[in-house]
Amino acid sequence: MPKTDLFISADVESDGPIPGPGHYSMLSFGLAVAGTFDGTSFEPAGTGAPTFYAELAPISARFEPAALAVSGLDRDRLAREGRSPAGAMAAAARWVRQVAGDRRPVMVAYPATFDWMWLAWYFGAYASNPFGHSGCLDVKTLYQAKAGVLWARAVKRHMPPELHSDRPHTHNALDDALEQADLFANIWTWPGPPEQAGS
């Protein structure tokens, strides 16, 4: 029998577009339980859901100033005080397995293509990936399918206000993972546009 899905919202802050030695570094990431689905009903996690946050030491000397400016993180401080990637990823993997228990952990992100790339690479390089090789769900795709809109309009500024979180988007990875968890839960439980909901 399939397991219940446990959705975990993930957000990554990096100093460039792609991960790896000789490329760029993941400087922080946040994880927040977003909800569960048992094949019949979805249950949002709500306030007080378990979270995980880590700031990491860079693995490369390269960085893009524009990417670094988004998060406002200090690379020099992280080089001194950031967690080792191996330690941070091992701790994150343990946390995911602990909160999941006998449920299947599924990472959700907006867009998943960016955050999954970073987390999958770091888990693969420094620990085992608790989400497996393909355990992610793209929130943008979920919205497009439910809203019936073109990909170019599957963006937050075109989404109905009731889908947005009340939390601010701060570019702190944990803050944004929590905001994204709200967005994901709101989209999942949304009946769709009025013309679809009423049909």
Residue matched to tokens 């397991």: 3
171 catalytic residue (yes or no): yes
> For the chain, what percentages of helix, strand and coil (3-state, to nearest 5) are there?
40, 20, 35
Rounded to whole angstroms, the Cα distance separating 97 from 83 reads 20
What the block records as the tokens of 154 is 């599957």
Rounded to whole angstroms, the Cα distance separating 125 from 165 reads 33
Single out the catalytic residue among 23, 164, 169, 171. Answer: 171
What the block records as the tokens of 59 is 């693995």
Active site residues: 171
